[in-house]
Every structure is written in structure tokens, then in C-alpha cells.
Amino acid sequence: MDTGSNTQTPATPDEIRARIRSEHAQISALLARVEALSERVAEDDINSVVALRGELVTLGEVLLAHLHYEEYQLPSLAEEGKVDEMAEDMHREHQVQRDIFDSVIRDLDETAVGSKLVVGVRELSRAIRDDMEHEERELLSKPEMGADV
């Protein structure tokens, strides 16, 4: 997957949808690995701490690039007259994801074990998955609403 956020080249609505769906699949796979590793960390498997940190770094890189791309491209898929509202809602949801991610990294760096870390990973996963499901349902499954065809 291209994790770069190419915001210079205009994309068609179909290209935007395809890329975001592809990134959602990659993010879902990364979330599954992070969730599994966080459970092993909770069971005091210290070797999993290093692996979890690495997976979280990878997830963070992919997620932040993805959020940036969405913030640039998704408003073009919104219904006419709803672009500003959609963009504001998306920025708010994405900021929540960024904040939770930062909190999970802090918890990992400070404690490296325990239920607090597992709860943070679950909260992060839930926020990201809820956002992806919302986007799939509200923006990616609809025909070219904001496009000039």
C-alpha cells in the first residue's frame, strides 16, 4: 500500500474509494496484530512488549498517513451542502483517534504491562474501527455524490 499522502494529484471518486478501502483493510490487519500482542502483554509476556511497540509504530505511521489522505480527499465525496459539516466531524473523530493513539504510546512507554495498556489498545481499536465502518457506510458505498460526472 502507498502510505504516502499524495495530495498533489487530484483523484477521481472511484480512485479515492478504492484507496481508502485498501487502506482500511491494511489498518484492520494491523489492529488485529496490535490487539493480539496487547493481550499477550497483559499476560506478562515481556517479549511481546517490544513487538507491540513495533506494531504500534507501524500502525501509527499507516494511520496518520491515512487520516491525512482522508482529510484531504473525503470531503469531495460528501453531499453538496454537507461538505463543511462532514469535514468538521471527520477532523473531530480523527483527532480523537490521534489522542488515543498518543495515550497508548505513553502508557506503553511508562508501564509496558497491565490492564491500562490493554484498555487503551481496545479503545483505540474501537475508535478506528467505528470510524472506518462509518466511512464505509456513509461515504464509500454511495455513488459519486460530490463529483462532477
**pLDDT score of 16:** 93
pLDDT at 114: 64
Cα distance between residue 13 and residue 30, in whole Å: 26
In this prediction, residue 51 carries a pLDDT of 85
Q: What is the pLDDT of residue 58?
A: 95
pLDDT for residue 145: 44
Spatial distance between the Cα atoms of 73 and 83, rounded to a whole number of angstroms: 11
pLDDT for the residue 129: 95
- For the chain of 149 residues, list the mean pLDDT of each consecutive stretch of 10: 56 92 97 90 76 90 96 88 92 94 83 73 92 90 52
Name the nearest CA neighbour of 43 among 107, 111, 115, 129: 115
